Amino acid sequence: MNDPVEPAELREGNPGAEGGAAALPADADARKALMALRNEVAKAVVGQDAVVTGLVIALLCRGHVLLEGVPGTAKTLLVRALARTLDLEFKRVQFTPDLMPGDVTGSLVYDNRTAEFEFREGPVFTNLLLADEINRTPPKTQASLLEAMEERQVSVEGVPRPLPDPFVVCATQNPIEYEGTYPLPEAQLDRFLLKLTVPVPSREEEIAVLQRHAEGFDPRDLSQVRAVAGAAELAAGQRAVRAVHVDPKVTGYVVDLCRATRQSPSLQLGVSPRGATALLATARAWAWLSGRDYVTPDDAKALARPTLRHRVQLRPEAELEGATADGVLEGILNTVPVPR
């Protein structure tokens, strides 16, 4: 966990792009609104700009996010503040060993008045779902999210029920406590577009946190956070991201990065083709947020670790030697030739 968390570009906001073709006004307005999210979230959460940017990228790609960090790093507060800035419906589920699949997806309930069964929606029917400590619930309940995450629908008694749009799952897990937990299976890890590590704040940031609390800040009251974007801006951004141009050389570079993970002696499981498409999608979103209508190899490099770190598995001998997924990916990024 001591490896670099995210590249500096994601923390700074703009990777120093040269600027591409002029964007349509609607696209420019949507970009401005989505980039303003960080300033609003900062009213509630100090630092964590890289994590906020990653969440925005996931929303643009209609993907899901796994947040990993020690307790007390404002993961829940971060997602709540983001939902408020986007004026989206937010629900939270605390995953526990006794949580049942129906507690997440919903179930049929008998109505005495009508003598019929009616479907009662579970918390998954929302825009932004926080699955808190997802690795504390058994695999059966974890699997209840699989269809919702992939198909964006819930099937109960054979009847499919579509979920709201947008729908994003933000799941959290504790990286230092494994007793009484159920590690997520590879099939479900691969459903997450990004795995973002939430770091402990720096000394200056921690001082700022304490100063806010000394001045009366209440993390349960987010009235000071205002909505700066909505479903319309998000939809405009998603359309613009799909129109971002990808040169064949960049596509080849993304494939080469992913193939290199399959040949690495430190890894027993490399990135699948689904992971390659995920990296291309996140690179396009980052390029658009940076004000360009084309993808560069640097975009792929900037998003490689958060997009791929949960899609690889270290060999046991590599773990014993102290290797980490981020460290192996960093070595691959340094060795795979970059197209010019």
Mean pLDDT of the chain: 87
Decide if 162 contacts 125 (C-beta within 8 A): no
HSE-CB of 212 using CA atoms within 13 angstroms: 14
* CB neighbourhood size of 291 (10 A): 18
Instruction: Report the C-alpha gap between 138 and 162 in whole angstroms.
Output: 25
Give me the count of residues in the chain.
340
Assign 182 a pLDDT band (cuts: 50, 70, 90). Answer: confident
Q: Which residue has the tokens 């937990």?
A: 181
**Element (DSSP H or E) covering residue 253:** helix 248-263
Radius of gyration of the chain (CA): 20
Decide if 243 contacts 21 (C-beta within 8 A): no
Q: How far from chain centre, in Å, is Cα 50?
A: 11
Strand partners, 161: 154
Strand partners, 245: 294
Q: What is the pLDDT of residues 34-85, one digit of tens each?
A: 888 888 898 899 888 899 999 999 999 999 999 998 888 888 899 989 988 9
Q: Which residue has the tokens 């773990």?
A: 319
Instruction: Report the C-alpha gap between 20 and 143 in whole angstroms.
Output: 42
**Which domains are delineated in the chain?**
25-239 (3.40.50.300), 244-329 (1.10.8.80)
Assign 277 a pLDDT band (cuts: 50, 70, 90). Answer: very high
317 burial class (0-12, 13-18, 19+ CB within 10 angstroms)? exposed
Tokens in use for 255?
């494939």
Q: What is the pLDDT of residues 192-243, one digit of tens each?
A: 999 999 998 899 999 999 999 999 888 888 888 888 888 888 999 999 999 9
Instruction: Report the C-alpha gap between 79 and 90 in whole angstroms.
Output: 9
Percent of the chain with pLDDT over 90: 52
pTM of the model: 0.86
Decide if 198 contacts 51 (C-beta within 8 A): yes
| DSSP per-residue codes, 195-248 | EEE-PPPPHHHHHHHHHHHHTT--TT--TT------HHHHHHHHHHHHT-B--H
